[in-house]
Amino acid sequence: MVMNRIRLPRNVASMKTRNVIIGLLIICMSFYMIISNLDGAKGSSRGRKLGFGLGATFRTEPYYYNRQDVSVDRLERLAWMADKWRAPISAAVYIQNDTEIEAIANLIRGSYSVTQFVDIHLLYANNTRYPINTLRNLSIKHAETDWVLLMDADFIPPISLYKNIVQHTYKVPRDELTAFVIPSFASSLDRFKIPDDKLDLLKEIKKKTIVPTNLNVCPKCHTPSNYTRWYKEKDTYEAKYQWVYEPYLVYRKIDAEPFDERLKGYGFDKNSQVFGMAVKGFKFVVLPECWIVHMNHPKQVWEGTDSYDEQMVCSSIANNQSITFLLTLSIHQLTKWDSLKIVCEILPETKKINGYNPEEILFNEPTKEKCYTREHCDVNICYRFFGDGLV
């Protein structure tokens, strides 16, 4: 039956099997992956200088396959996630050439969980840098659930995560803007050794085989989650939002604005989205029995960088250089870094749209005149891409 479903056209497979399931499920996990280094693939963009493409549009193919969103080179991790999640997943896949599509179809057939729970939506490359937010929006747009949890395919959830989240979402009144924070960790452990039980997780944290995400790299990106409290807490608690906080969130997709698709490649792509939610009035509630673990892997430089600053950032990361490079950039060079330029526009725009004075400081974010200062760079860019662990 599963194999028949793989071969059936999308509408036939979905009408007979999906609709019964969807009515019972209200959480969707969305994640995004880039396809690269595929054996036998032609037309790779590796080494090419790609334009900014801030306003570029992309050809998409929603529901290439029902119930999953994945990329070829890390499809296996998608299957691992689906095995644990056991609920709908909406996956946006970045396609650089048509040979990758056949590879996706072949690999999908190898996972029962993928065939049952994953929808795949394709986004075709259009001579730009990596369109991270376009992929996020594609996966969210086609998620067939009210609530979404956005994460990438390098994370693995505990087997009880879906059940534990649902216990909280159904209690949220429709007129209440609540986003649930899922604390995130990182580990180089084999996936079979990543705990499903919190007590076992805490033992690994004590041994430092599992650590909180990016606390040394970008302290402000996750510290509002208050990991020290989370270790001991049994009840939900509210995280106090401050600028650059970027937790992994569960929220009603209809309540949040889309990710800003001008942001491509590195920088502020997720921070700016969470800032918009905070300005809109969301409260961020940490779930003590929920978490996800990033499965570490060798860092790869994203393809498609173009500007001098970005090329140098990627080069520094690839060569494990220190934070000193960005510290040497002049203010003129920083203003050329397009992600910084865009977020310096997003912050006042977001406040104005929500009825605030664009120059009013709400969450320790910089005003427009302070946005390009070295203080803002040092705290929010340098730590983001350099430091102990290199993002």
The pLDDT, as a whole number, for residue 53 is 57
Check pLDDT > 90 for residue 304. Answer: no
- Condensed to tens digits (0 to 9), the pLDDT of residues 87-100 reads 888 988 888 887 77
Strand-pair category, 283-286 with 178-182: parallel
Check pLDDT > 80 for residue 8. Answer: no
Asked if 337 contacts 310 with a C-beta cutoff of 8 angstroms, the reply is: yes
Check pLDDT > 70 for residue 289. Answer: yes
The pLDDT, as a whole number, for residue 383 is 43
Residue 128 DSSP label: B
Check pLDDT > 50 for residue 369. Answer: yes
Check pLDDT > 60 for residue 151. Answer: yes
Check pLDDT > 90 for residue 183. Answer: yes
Q: Out of 11-20, 152-161, 282-291, 297-306, which region has the weakest mean confidence (pLDDT)?
A: 11-20
In the chain, the amino acid numbered 157 is: P
State how far the Cα of 30 lies from the Cα of 263, in Å rounded to an integer.
19
Considering the chain, what is the average pLDDT of its residues?
Answer: 74
The pLDDT, as a whole number, for residue 9 is 29
The pLDDT, as a whole number, for residue 52 is 52
Strand-pair category, 118-124 with 89-95: parallel
Query: Highest mean pLDDT range out of 43-57, 63-77, 250-264?
Result: 250-264
- Condensed to tens digits (0 to 9), the pLDDT of residues 327-346 reads 555 555 555 577 888 999 99
Tokens of 92: 């946006």
State how far the Cα of 50 lies from the Cα of 149, in Å rounded to an integer.
31
259: CB partners within 8 A, 6+ apart: 133, 134, 136, 137, 269, 270, 272, 273
Who has greater pLDDT, 10 or 54? 54
Q: What is the 3-state secondary structure (H, E, C) of 332-361?
A: HHHHHCHHHHHHHHHHHHHHHHCCCCCCCC
Q: Out of 44-48, 285-289, 306-310, which region has the weakest mean confidence (pLDDT)?
A: 44-48
- Condensed to tens digits (0 to 9), the pLDDT of residues 235-246 reads 999 999 999 999
Check pLDDT > 50 for residue 364. Answer: yes
State how far the Cα of 83 lies from the Cα of 112, in Å rounded to an integer.
9
Beta strands in 287-365 (DSSP E): 292-295
The pLDDT, as a whole number, for residue 312 is 43
